[in-house]
Copies of this chain bind each other. A is one copy, B any other.
Amino acid sequence: MASNIGHSYRCAIFGESHGKMIGVEIDGLPPGEAIDEAELQAFMARRAPGNSHLTTKRKEPDLVHIASGIMDGVTTGFPLMAYIENTDQHSKDYSNLLDHPRPSHADYTAYLHYKGFADMRGGGHFSGRLTAPLCIAGGIAKQILRRRGIVIGAQLLQVAEFVGTPFDALNVDAETLEKIATKEFPTLDFRAGAKMQHAIQQAANDGDSVGGIIQGAIIGVPAGVGSPMFDGIENRLSQALFGIPGCKGVAFGDGFDSVTLRGSVHNDPFTIQDGNIVTTSNHAGGILGGIANGAPITVRIAMKPTASISKKQQSISLSKHEPEDLVITGRHDPCIAVRAVPVVEAVLAMSILDLLLEEHSI
């Protein structure tokens, strides 16, 4: 089964880009949680297109309707179903794509997997549009976590070759994480951010696209939460994060950079601070043996360049079974990493809440 995840906060995503509705069914919400729908809607707006000149001009108001599981603004504990009605579809923009799989998209693999029956208009169930229900599930989770002092944030760390400043691995705080969420272009490093935006604009001008790295951080997860082997924090977060369309890499703490360090540098020494056992550095990204050690959890997500570009590309005709050039029209983000920042937050929130509920640590 593909489109559901979680055990104690189980989210099942449904919908297609050009269908009637997209949404999510969530089982396992604790009863008695106030859910601020305006705050949820504001979170949805961070993902919605049309926010800036760097994102697609399609308008998706992403108005969330809650069909069950909430009464008078408070969770009942029953399954919550929430949906968004699809409104701004231009199916004819995509009509020639059904015979010509777009390079680096799921068009061809879905064609095989679903034996030609999948409704792939606009990318179908594989569309980036399906990150909206992820944001519903994650936006609700964020509110529940925030109430327990667990705060999640994310930023653009890199676009093309322009690298910003990472979160302070040891001391990143809630204020920083919440402030960055208010920025139109969410990156800590103003100067690098300007270069990133320029790179995106240039790619757009060229009918092309660029990739990026998103960094996420989670603070407040109690030390001791997690599991060994296949069910640790890294296992769960990576399984969920690779569900974001375009994600090609996930790394915790120093990640791939750790390989060039010696153990004597990479190991995080222990000490006592204010009576608590803490580490004096955080190369581990807050996780040892799959279990939180109390330091901030940090993670990097590699987002590939947007697959949909205006430039002419080589595809094939499925019906003629021969190579044919393809030009994708329509409106696309030149860098999917930008709008994926709140999606990363959402996925982290879903996964961490699931873990905490399962361990009854909140």
Q: Which residues of A contact B (CB under 8 A)?
A: 1-5, 7-8, 10, 12-16, 19-23, 25, 27-28, 31-32, 66-69, 71, 74-81, 83, 101, 103-106, 108-110, 112-119, 124-126, 130, 158-161, 203, 206, 208-213, 223-232, 234-236, 238-240, 242-243, 245, 247-256, 258-272, 275, 277, 279-280, 283-285, 287-293, 300, 302-309, 311, 313-316, 321-323, 337, 360
Evaluate contact between A12 and B4: CB separation under 8 angstroms. Answer: yes
Chain B residue numbers with a CB within 8 Å of A307 are 263, 267
Which B residues lie within 8 Å of A5 (CB)?
229-231
Q: Let me know if B3 and A271 touch, CB within 8 A.
A: no
Among B130, B263, B283, which residue has its beta carbon within 8 angstroms of that of A210?
B263
In whole Å, how far is A136's beta carbon from the nearest beta carbon of chain B? 14
Cross-chain contact B270 with A315 (CB below 8 angstroms): yes
> How far apart are the CA atoms of A125 and B27 in the complex, in Å?
12
Residue of B nearest to A212 (CB): B259
Closest to A253 in B: B248
Give chain B residues whose Cβ lies under 8 Å from the Cβ of A130: 229
Chain B residues near A303: list those with CB within 8 A: 259
Residues of B within 8 A of A279 (CB): 103
By the criterion CB–CB under 8 Å, are A302 and B227 in contact? no
Q: Is chain A's binding surface mostly helix, strand, loop or mixed? A: mixed
Q: Are A13 and B266 in contact (CB under 8 A)?
A: no
**CB contact under 8 A between A22 and B68, given known A259-B212, A263-B305:** yes
Contacts of A230 in B (CB 8 A): 2-5, 239-240, 242-243
Contact A126 B289 (CB under 8 A): yes
Q: Is the pair A28, B1 in contact by a Cβ cutoff of 8 Å?
A: yes
CB contact under 8 A between A16 and B119, given known A104-B266, A263-B104: no
Nearest Cβ on chain B to A133's Cβ, whole angstroms: 10
Q: For A232, A264, A277, which residue has the most chain B Cβ atoms within 10 angstroms?
A: A264
Which residues of B sit under 8 angstroms from A78, Cβ to Cβ? 3, 14-16, 114, 118-119, 124-125
Q: Which of A78, A125, A268 has the most CB of B within 10 A?
A: A78
**A80–B225 Cα gap in the complex (Å)?**
21
Most chain B CB within 10 A, of A1, A321, A322, is at A1
CB neighbours of A316 from chain B (8 A): 270-272, 277
